Amino acid sequence: VFHGRILAQRLVGQETRYEVEVKAPYRRRFPLVSREYLWVPNTCGCPPLLEGGEYLLMARRHVNHEHTLNRILLPDGGYARPWTPREVRLVREAA
């Protein structure tokens, strides 16, 4: 789980590759660097990720059996929602 800002996107075959600036990692099951590629299948039911937008993303590390492919994947059914600062969320909940 991490907070990221979408820098660019590119359609690659049956997937979309997003270049993401990692703003803050929250759960560290695998290490993240300041910029990562996030892969999303084009059939994903997640909301569209817009360039310049900030999101809370729950992705997983995908490594194939040959260990030649190591990437971050937002699978179908993965979690992505627009990010809002905590203070803004608390004010909205109190209203």
pLDDT tens per residue, range 52-95: 999 999 888 888 777 667 889 988 777 888 998 775 565 455 55
**CA-CA distance, 68 to 80, in Å (whole number)?**
27
pTM: 0.78
- pLDDT class for 51, splitting at 50, 70, 90? very high
Residue extents of the structural domains in the chain: 15-81
CB-side neighbour CA atoms (13 Å) of 52: 0
Per-residue pLDDT tens digits for 25-47 = 887 777 888 999 999 987 666 67
Residue 8 clears pLDDT 90, i.e. is over it: yes
